[in-house]
Structure 1
Amino acid sequence: MDFPSVSRSISFVHPISLSHGKNAEVRDVDGKRYIDFVGGIGVLNLGHCHPQIVAAICEQAQRMTHYAFNAAPHQPYQQFIERLAAFIPVSYPVSGMLTNSGAEAAENALKIVRGHTGKTAVIAFDGAFHGRTLATLNLNGKVAPYKQKVGTLPGPVFHLPYPSVDNGVSVDETLRAMDRLFSVEIDLDEVACFIIEPVQGEGGFLALDPGFAQLLRTLCDDKGIVLIIDEIQSGFGRTGERFAFSRLGIEPDLLLLGKSIAGGVPLGAVVGRKALMDTLPKGGLGGTYSGNPIACAAGLATLELMTDVNLAAWGEQYAVTLQARYAKWQADSLSPYLGRLTGVGAMRGIELLTAEGKPATAQMARLLETARASGLLLMPSGKSRHIVRLLAPLTIEPDVLNEGLDILEQCLSDLR
């Protein structure tokens, strides 16, 4: 698929052209229907064109389409940031700023940390993904394709193994690597922050070990290091709770948000402890489009729908259905390439492995193609692009979810 006016540095997972969608279904320009297990790469936890979100967008568009909040404050920004602060389950008062994306939230978090600590060193993790902007590239725990041909990146940034039952990396292994890092590469006293995803998205839906999360929180507290938790993909109900960090028994100092924050309208946020958020001088934070009124209206409608009751019900339906189907596939030896089910809650991946236990990257490419031909859109993840990333809307109808899993089952069975 080639669009002459679009940069060839942009790649496409699916060579189709979409026209419209509703909840978990989309149609291309030829009218073909697909069940969407991609969800805009985690943006559409509430599905395509949720009627309450669409109504909020339309209403706000008739009142005011834009005003720069740092030029003159407007109500939608004020209302949304207050509602968002109340939505975040932490024990301290939350302060924050709105951005246009998750990557922009990460960039601003780095500025805030530098201003607060006077230090620049960042510790990130293998397999991480925090964005495609210049500073966030260096945080990513993967070179290809993100860091290729762009030269020296802002730093210093150091990486540690990401401990998870989903990738076989133990807490002890990470602690040994940490001991080496602080013995050989950098003094711990020079570290400004750690940045970590409670469930890695691009990395393959790997759930962070809770024991390590608590050790990391204690280390940061003892050494005055800022702990940034990136919930851009795992947040807003993806794991069955408001945010995945609650499962770990810790709280962030700064929290990065984006993707499903506003039902498909570009919006992000960095929020956290007021002492951190107030570090930079007046004018040090802001942006022309950050907290656009229409995006804020969409965000307010999104938060109204994300009650704890709804999130628990949606997450349980999704998780129970998928786990039962996966268990049956295992019991039936559906495919020689069927590996582990990774992740937690409704944030799940299915690993494809060869008989030798190696990433089945070629089989993944065929699976994407055959599933698409059968009317199901899937997304790869993992270092070797061998883990199916399942990001259907939390609001997917049970019959549509089962129909999509039927297609996936048949395609896995036919995989050669």
Structure 2
Amino acid sequence: MKNKKLEKRRSAAVARGVGVSTPLFAVRAENSELWDEDGRRYIDFASGIAVVNTGHRHPRVIAAVKQQLDRFTHTCHQVVPYENYVELAEKLNQLTPGDFDKKTVFVTTGAEAVENAIKIARAHTGRDGVIAFSGGFHGRTFMGMALTGKVSPYKIGFGSMPGDVYHVPYPNEVHQITPEDSINAVRTLLRADIDPKRIAAIILEPVQGEGGFYPASPELMRKIREICDEYDIVMIADEVQTGFARTGKLFAMEHYDVTPDLITMAKSLAGGFPLAAVTGRAEMMDAPVVGGLGGTYGGSPIGVAAALAVLDVIEDEKLCQKAEMLGSRLHQRLASLQHEIPEIRDIRGPGFMKAVEFFDKNRKPSPIFTTMVRDIALEKGLILLICGVYSNVIRFLAPITIEDHIFNEAQDILDVSIREAKRRIG
């Protein structure tokens, strides 16, 4: 078997810290399907962790990239700039929520976007402190790790984290944490641990990704905005996983009646090509000195070309509306199982950013049941991802462009997999 041989080579050649969740090696992919080295076909409900919202190899994205390859591949925007970088910045300034002047900077990864958002907030405020939330994920760089509210596997063995980062509980109805609990924790922090005049930013995901797909309530967002306004703190929305039609809006923050100062984005921005960005209030974005932002590969002309095509695809193919429709259908299918599968504790998430959380008979989080569902589904040709602080949540991140008959096939596999896990566990 080619997959097994390649896994032996991978294990011998690649650092152990690079985790792999499936035992297969991809050879080709198209929209919502991929094929492995052994010639087997799978339905992809992972999308490279919410990267190919527009599907694997969308024809318009591929065409835009090929056109750019025929022009040039790299100059470094800080050395010789190029027009499509400016065009994409203009579009993001227009499309992101907020009726104020904005500017944008491009980098390469989501972690870089978060790092730069913190740099911008610190430069703007002259302060150091940052408040983040338990269960949040913001990257694997040192500041990203410090902001991330989950120890295993992200912080194990890496020593001291950057200082002046504080965590408060994230609202979680399933685990009995209310928005009021979270806001009270912020207020207590500002009374007991750090002077609010030393806080540069509060960062949060509108829907926690790795943390378990828990959406922030409108109440939480309003209160965070109030606190930021009260103390001149920068509000940062981490939309690395939620962005670009996944939640039924281009950006998840459009579901709320308040606006962040800065938004980080990456993943599905460029449809499978490495590109990330920070967009925000112009006066804040201009706070760092000239040369303080950027990077050799930041705003690669290839990634930018792909991103411009992605934005056109989302609009022309009405992917925000399609995400709402697909998410509703998936929710209904899972809800139809709840009366006979008591392990299904919760089904949640806006648009097509859905998740199901599993508990055991004792009403405790069940990573065993969750892993069994994922493994059975993989045997049947459906790729699923696990998340959550307790590793008891399956998140669904299929391309929003998934064909209807393939979506139905995937739901059938999921249904059978959950039932089979129930039979095996008893």
What TM-score do the two structures reach when normalised by structure 2? 0.95
Shift of 1:54: 0.5
The CA deviation string for residues 174-217 of structure 1, in whole angstroms up to 9 with x for no partner, is 12322321222112221111000000110111000111110110
Instruction: Tell me what 1:136 maps to.
Output: 144
Find the aligned partners of 2:324 and 2:118 in 1 and give their Cα distance.
35
Matched residue, 2:60: 52
Partner of 1:15: 23
Q: Secondary structure at the match of 2:318?
A: helix
**Partner of residue 155, structure 2:** 147
**Cα distance between partner residues in 1 of 2:361 and 2:178:** 24
Say yes or no: does 1:326 pair with 2:334: yes
Is contact 1:123-1:191 (8 Å) kept? yes
- The residue aligned with 1:399 is 405
Displacement over 3 Å in runs of 4+? 164-168
1:208 matches 2:185: no
Change over 3 Å in CA distance of 1:397–1:314 after alignment to 2 = same
Structure 2 residue 312 is matched with structure 1 residue 304: yes
Cα deviation per residue 1:206-238 (whole Å; 9 max; x = unaligned)? Answer: 000111110110111121000000000001001
Partner of 2:4: none
Structure 1 residue 360 corresponds to structure 2 residue 373: no
1:339 corresponds, among 331, 345, 359, to: 345
Q: Distance in 1 between matches of 2:243 and 2:369?
A: 30
How big is the shift at 1:354?
Answer: 0.3
Are 2:379 and 1:384 aligned?
Answer: no
Aligned Cα RMSD in Å?
1.3
- 1:330 aligns to what SS in structure 2? coil
DSSP-derived class of the 1:220 partner: helix
Tell me the distance in 2 between the aligned counterparts of 1:146 and 1:288: 26
Deviates further, 23-32 or 83-92: 83-92
Among 275, 288, 300, the alignment partner of 1:292 is 300
Q: Is the 8 A contact 2:247 2:351 kept in 1?
A: yes
Report SS of the residue matched to 1:302: helix
SS in 2 for 1:206: coil
Contact 1:119/1:192 (<8 A) preserved: yes
Q: 1:350 aligns with which of 320, 331, 356?
A: 356
Structure 1 residues 112, 314: CA separation in 2 closer, same or farther (over 3 Å shift)?
Answer: same
Tell me the CA shift for residue 308 of structure 1: 8.1
1:90 aligns with 2:98: yes
Q: CA deviation at 1:113?
A: 1.2
Kindly state the Cα deviation for residue 87 of structure 1 after the two structures are TM-superposed: 1.9
Q: 1:105 aligns with which of 113, 118, 124?
A: 113
Alpha-carbon displacement from aligned partner over 1:350-376 (angstroms, at most 9, x marks no partner):
111101111111122222211111000
Aligned partner of residue 75 in structure 2, secondary structure: coil
CA contact (8 A) 1:166 1:343 kept: no
Compute the displacement of 1:126 (Å).
Answer: 0.7
Q: Which residue of the partner structure matches residue 6 of structure 1?
A: 14
Shift of 1:166: 5.1
Identity level (%): 40
* Alignment deviations for residues 148-170 of structure 1 (CA, whole Å, 9 cap, x no partner): 11111112111111124454321
Instruction: Specify the SS of the correspondent of 1:26.
Output: strand
Determine the structure 2 residue equivalent to 1:412. 418
Contact 2:92 2:279 in 1 (8 A): no
For residues 280-303 of structure 1, the C-alpha deviation after alignment (integer angstroms, 9 at most, x for no partner) is 111111111101111110000001
Instruction: Please state how far the C-alpha of 1:312 moved relative to its aligned partner.
Output: 3.3
User: Against the structure 1 CA distance between its residues 166 and 61, is the aligned structure 2 distance closer, same or farther, given a 3 Å change threshold?
Assistant: farther
Of 167-176 and 122-131, more deviation after overlay is shown by 167-176
Write the letter of the residue equivalent to 1:51: P
CA contact (8 A) 2:319 2:401 kept: no
Q: Is residue 248–residue 351 contact of structure 2 (8 Å, CA) maintained in 1?
A: yes
CA distance in 1, matches of 2:321, 2:283: 36
**Contact 1:37 1:390 (C-alpha < 8 Å) held by counterparts:** yes
Deviations 1:251-277 (A, max 9, x none): 111100000000000000011001111
Distance in 1, Cα, partners of 2:319 & 2:229: 31
The separation in 2 between residues aligned to 1:317 and 1:248, in whole angstroms, is 20
Look up the match of 1:65: 73
| Aligned residue identity for 2:369 | Q
Count matched residues.
414
Equivalent-residue separation in structure 2 for 1:216 and 1:344 (angstroms): 20
Distance between the aligned counterparts of 2:93 and 2:27, measured in 1?
35
- Distance in 1 of aligned mates of 2:129 and 2:402: 42
How far apart in 2 are the matches of 1:72 and 1:364? 50
